[in-house]
Amino acid sequence: MEILFVASEVAPFSKTGGLGDVAAALPAALVAHGHAVAVVSPRYGGIDPGRAGFEPRHRAVRVRGEPTTVHVRRTGRLVHYLVEHEHFFGGRRGLYGEHGHDYPDNAERFAYLCRAALAVPAALGHRPRIVHLNDWQTALAAWLLRAEHAEDPAISAARTVFTIHNLAYQGVFRKELLPALGLPWEVFRFDAMEFHDRLNLMKAGLVFADALTTVSPRYAAEIATPEGGEGLDPLLRHRRADLHGILNGIDVRAWDPATDPALPAHFDLHRLAGKRVCKEALQREVGLPVRADVPVVAVVSRLVEQKGIDLVLAALPELLRRELQLVVLGTGRHDWEGALARAAREHPHRLAVRLGFDEPLAHRIEAGADVFLMPSRYEPCGLNQLYSLRYGTVPVVREVGGLADTVEDFDGWRRGTGFRFRDQEPKAMLVALWRALELRRDRRAWHAMVRRGMAQDFSWGRSAARYEELYDRLVG
Ligand code: ADP
């Protein structure tokens, strides 16, 4: 089956979070199952297409009559396309914004991506039966496919899947933008893209895609409720029969403690000695005292409300009083970055903070830490808890969304892969963390838990098979 996959970020070319990882791994897994997948994303300023193995096809694709270049990279049945647009993408350093502010023309930028992606099949010889869209940036394509490609033999018969990676980001804009986006006023209705008198681009996907998915079963249920629905729960309840929760996998080759090139030593389920070396090296790298006996608790996260970083900040005095070391890697809210950096200066033996996006360091933290803390307010799937499990780092998570679907709470005896807490309260988080550190005193019980986590299988194979089933059902 041929599949056109559209995403605003695709690792390793572009990535700000889990979407980039998924847009890399799911197409690869589908190709491994015998499908042909074309992945379309923008050529942002940070990407050097030549160095990344792409070749240009000049003026190959027309967007609203204007020709544009796409860069092509073929790996067997997997083809990556990067859409060129100097003003919208090439001339920008960020993906969605800079210095904490979204670009003001994001609606125009991603409407352009949608139109370019839908023009690819006819221009470059594809006949996809499925068009798989991801998040608000690509949602408009579900409507455009019907409205602007009804006569396009390359793509008119394709069925659409829209995946919600995060319902909180909906692409909401002033309604006055409609003409500039080339959209007729008839789409500005409550059963199309209108939302509280504004234009909601995600609704184009939620309303017009043939099937909807999100990235964990628990999140699929949560977003259909008023608490988790971000104002869209009535629509999601209306489409409940078409909404499927399919857990994300992880790229088990990029995240393999037995081979990971970012690590100073390697380990696996049967030979854990290398993890001790990783811990020592991590403590040295981030400037904490090198002590095997002191537990290292880690946070790798965007520093935003979603991730519950406020709980970590509120609990910081208590955390810093205990015999533990805290390592935080992240970027996001400036006030939280400042508060963390200040605390790290005041407690250099207890707290190490790295502000920035540093993929190799994220790997070394996952490998070197004992415990991974993820107190998310909501979590569509979450990848870091899965990396943690695989790297023998015990996750302490809030019982929400994909965290609840992937981390089994310790039963006090011999079951469980981590520790969960329910209330969005610093105290509840600390109770779960103290439970973890308490278990760690019992070396055998701790290692048994570490091994149970490492033995879990979150590879993409199973998830890709669920997407395949869905595609099959859609195309009959
Ligand atoms: P989200 O997509 O909501 O940010 P996920 O847990 O699904 O959360 O995915 C986050 C991804 O981004 C992971 O691959 C994680 O390692 C990575 N990541 C987040 N912040 C950083 C950072 N500061 N440096 C390196 N990697 C990071």
Question: What CA–CA distances, in Å, run from 232 to 181, 193, 239, 240, 402?
Answer: 23, 11, 11, 12, 19
Tell me the sheet residues that pair with 83. 42, 70
Q: Which residues of 163-200 are buried (b: 16+ CB within 10 A; e: fewer)?
A: bbbbbebbbbbeeebbeebbbeeebbeeebbbbeeebb
One domain for residues 128 and 71: yes
Q: Which residues of 270-302 are buried (b: 16+ CB within 10 A; e: fewer)?
A: eeeebbebbbbbbbebbebeeeeebbbbbbbbb
pLDDT band at 18 (very low <50, low <70, confident <90, very high): confident
The reported pLDDT for the residue numbered 251 is 86
CB 320 within 8 Å of CB 294? no
Does residue 100 surpass a pLDDT of 90? Answer: no
**CATH number of the domain where residue 417 is located:** 3.40.50.2000
Residues 133, 378, 105, 192: what is their CA dihedral angle, to the nearest 10 degrees? Answer: 60
One domain for residues 177 and 290: no
- SS3 category, 328: strand
- C-alpha closest to that of 468 among 25, 134, 31, 8: 31
- What percent of the chain is predicted at pLDDT more than 70? 100
One domain for residues 35 and 83: yes
The reported pLDDT for the residue numbered 286 is 98
Ligand 1 lined by 382 (C-beta under 6 Å): yes
- SS3 category, 162: strand
One domain for residues 138 and 280: no
Q: How far apart are CA 107 and CA 166, in angstroms?
A: 17
Is 161 a domain residue? Answer: yes
For a mutational test of ligand 1's pocket, the pick from 165, 260, 301, 388, i.e. the residue with the most ligand atoms closer than 8 A to its C-beta, is 301
Is 97 a domain residue? Answer: yes
Is 227 a domain residue? Answer: yes
One domain for residues 422 and 406: yes
Ligand 1 lined by 248 (C-beta under 6 Å): no
Residues with Cβ within 8 Å of residue 75, at least 6 apart in sequence: none
Q: What is the pLDDT of residues 393-440, one digit of tens each?
A: 999 999 999 999 999 999 999 899 999 999 999 999 999 999 999 999
Does residue 17 surpass a pLDDT of 90? Answer: no
pLDDT band at 159 (very low <50, low <70, confident <90, very high): very high
One domain for residues 335 and 202: no
How many domains, the chain? 2
The reported pLDDT for the residue numbered 120 is 98
One domain for residues 466 and 449: no
The reported pLDDT for the residue numbered 131 is 98
Q: What is the pLDDT of residues 316-350, one digit of tens each?
A: 999 999 999 999 999 999 999 999 999 999 999 99
Q: Closest ligand 1 atom to the C-alpha of 21?
A: 14
One domain for residues 287 and 432: yes
363: containing domain: 273-454
The reported pLDDT for the residue numbered 74 is 97
Is 187 a domain residue? Answer: yes
Instruction: Kindly state the average pLDDT of the residues 7-24.
Output: 94
DSSP secondary structure letter of residue 87: I
Does residue 362 surpass a pLDDT of 90? Answer: yes
pLDDT band at 155 (very low <50, low <70, confident <90, very high): very high
Does residue 361 surpass a pLDDT of 90? Answer: yes
Read off the amino acid at residue 266: H
247 C-alpha to ligand 1 centroid (Å)? 17
Instruction: Kindly state the average pLDDT of the residues 158-180.
Output: 98
pLDDT, averaged across the chain: 97
21 C-alpha to ligand 1 centroid (Å)? 9
Instruction: Kindly state the average pLDDT of the residues 140-164.
Output: 98
Ligand 1 lined by 302 (C-beta under 6 Å): yes
Ligand 1 lined by 359 (C-beta under 6 Å): yes
One domain for residues 203 and 277: no
By DSSP bridging, strand 198-200 and strand 172-173 are: antiparallel
Is 260 a domain residue? Answer: no
The reported pLDDT for the residue numbered 219 is 98
- What percent of the chain is predicted at pLDDT more than 90? 97
Question: What CA–CA distances, in Å, run from 43 to 13, 74, 111, 281, 383?
Answer: 8, 16, 15, 36, 25
The reported pLDDT for the residue numbered 241 is 97
Is 204 a domain residue? Answer: yes
Q: What is the pLDDT of residues 243-292, one digit of tens each?
A: 999 999 998 988 999 999 999 999 999 999 999 999 999 999 999 999 99
One domain for residues 344 and 207: no
147 C-alpha to ligand 1 centroid (Å)? 36
CB 172 within 8 Å of CB 166? no
- C-alpha closest to that of 297 among 437, 129, 114: 437
One domain for residues 302 and 228: no
Is 263 a domain residue? Answer: no
Q: What is the pLDDT of residues 76-89, one digit of tens each?
A: 999 999 999 999 99
Is 256 a domain residue? Answer: no
- C-alpha closest to that of 158 among 179, 132, 187: 132
Structure tokens at 67: 């020709």
One domain for residues 170 and 292: no
The reported pLDDT for the residue numbered 105 is 98
CB 178 within 8 Å of CB 199? yes
